Structure 1
């Protein structure tokens, strides 16, 4: 088996929980380069995807994986894998949904509080010895319960965010999703489904994104929709960077067309060195860590290893995302 995930994520699960995998040839891509990946993937029967998204399984890479029977991505998101190319090659791709739902939901609510309380600016002021006890409110210091919060994408993570917002007294919680939330999932939650993305942007003071990156969602929050959010609006993105037109967002933040943003994800990652977001004082930044708590990493890896265990016993995991109906069975090697 080939793992493109960092070694320190998978090794602790072997030690703590046990697995059939140590009895097999387990190899890690190290150093973490595309060339090293290409040299190793040709001999892999199973591939564990990269939870950081740094190493991508694109069409050219997958074409080298002639022996690969299954790819398991240890996260819910699988946009670092060309699932269409894998389907054409007959390679099933399984993801690991729900493993970091709690962590992302907690980060999201924390980020909302950071921006509606203007926490970063006032932290810096207090650190410098300035005391803005009463003046800070004049700039816009709010209770979260008084904000209209909209959730775009009401899957596992969106629902987890909604449950936490309800505890803060946010009501109603606006959302847009391709289908209504079931009564079982929405029990006790003050949810209101709106008809479209435009309405959600128009009615929300705080807009939180929880959609996967697909052809339909790429650039979904563009300049026009940021203007619908308005000058008092807040954008929180813990989904994927390219869901937002980042040039339009940067412009909107710089010109105060929206109030502020909290970003855990970016179009180009890792975000290192000098970058444009550093010039802004109305954006809260974090390095794609929302779902990377120690607890989430344990859950992601345990879930991925459970899928691999199923495959090693000849079964197909239940979380296949590319409509391949069975393990890939490569033909006999030819001279």
Structure 2
């Protein structure tokens, strides 16, 4: 009897290391790697019993790809974000989609804190000036170099990453941490740091000096940080986005950065990725840019792939992983 086929849509270079460490303990199976060509991908998907999503999020599992995967029992995505998969259509097909939450929480939280500090200190601009032979020590404070202690931090989305940001910033002496999350309601976090839940995104942006975004991209969160909320953050305000580019209205953000109606932004994610070649962010001095690497630390990548492989192994044994995101309650049986 042929072994069940796990089809990895993630590149071999991403999967191979974690897979070599884990595959011997997994239920018997055959691992294959999909083509990046759409026509060949459809043929590969037709032969898959289980699917590992694309860690790079470049290869999309849209409705046509999912229709081709007509014998698959489950899709397991190796990151927390899963917007590269049409989860609604998967649900209509009875195909569960699971993600891998929390595996990169430390890496992303560390990046967000680093970026907030860099923006408050005008780090990128002063690095460029010093390299060019300028010495602006005296002018620095007037140009807006700030302590983080005593600032009000607003965290949009208060899951594992948002709470990790709060813990780390509390250690810097930040004693006013606000958050907005429709599903979390706490007044302190691990370590005893006090936090305050606000009732709206508007209130968070109005009161915070730094807004750090940690929401998934859904129809409800698309452009949730719009022009009006950017105005509320104000001219000394900083926005950090490690979530998804489309959570922010990027046109409005770009305009605000050009006009100086917001101090600075740190962007690890963009609406259109990869961000290659000439682009509109390149000429701005008040933006820190990063190629979607906050969760790509060596440790995070290992943990994400390891978690996804554990979920696939559970599915091979007939068990549904706990992290299903599209409300399908059993493996698809064909």
- Fold-level match, TM-score > 0.5? yes
Q: Which moved more, 1:258-267 or 1:181-190?
A: 181-190
Decide which of 237, 244, 250 is 2:241's aligned counterpart. Answer: 237
State the 1:272 CA deviation.
0.2
Q: Aligned to 2:31, which of 23, 26, 47?
A: 26
CA contact (8 A) 1:101 1:291 kept: yes
Q: Corresponding residue for 1:35?
A: 39
The answer to whether the 8 Å contact 1:14/1:22 transfers is no
Aligned partner of 2:136 in structure 1 is 132
Contact 2:209 2:236 in 1 (8 A): yes
Report Cα offsets for 1:246-269 as digits up to 9, x if no partner: 001000000111111000000000
Cα pair 2:187 2:195 within 8 Å, conserved: no
The verdict on how the C-alpha distance between 1:29 and 1:180 changes in structure 2, with shifts beyond 3 A counting, is closer
Residue 180 of structure 1 and its aligned partner are, at CA, apart by: 4.3
- Provide the residue aligned with 2:16 in structure 1: 11
Distance in 2 of aligned mates of 1:72 and 1:19:
19
3-state SS of paired residue (2:75): strand
What CA deviation, in whole Å up to 9, does each residue of 1:227-281 have, x standing for no partner? Answer: 1111111111000000001001000000111111000000000000000000111
RMSD: 1.5
1:251 aligned counterpart, secondary structure: helix
Distance 1:308 1:201, change over 3 A: same
Give the aligned length.
329
Deviations along 1:170-190, one digit per CA (max 9) or x if unpaired, are: 111011111443467455112
Please, which runs of 5 or more residues in structure 1 have no aligned partner? 331-335
Preserved contact between residue 19 and residue 309 of structure 1 (Cα < 8 Å): no
Alpha-carbon distance in 1 for matches of 2:235, 2:186: 34
Is the Cα–Cα contact under 8 Å of residues 115 and 261 in structure 1 kept in the other structure? yes
Aligned equivalent of 2:85: 81
What is the match of residue 227 of structure 2?
Answer: 223
Query: What CA deviation, in whole Å up to 9, does each residue of 1:31-66 have, x standing for no partner?
Result: x23333222111100000011110111111101111
- Using the alignment, how far apart are the partners of 2:190 and 2:318 within structure 1? 37
Matched position secondary structure for 1:276: coil
Distance 1:163 1:36 in 2: 46
Q: Which runs of 5+ in 2 are unaligned?
A: 1-5
> Would the aligned equivalents of 1:102 and 1:160 in 2 still touch at CA under 8 Å?
yes
In the superposition, the TM-score normalised over structure 2's length comes to: 0.95
> Do the aligned residues in 1 keep the contact of 2:223 with 2:246 (CA within 8 Å)?
yes
Counterpart of 2:281 in 1: which secondary structure? helix
Q: Contact conserved, 1:33 with 1:55, CA < 8 A, in 2?
A: no
Report what 1:205 is aligned to.
Answer: 209
| 1:98 correspondence with 2:102 | yes
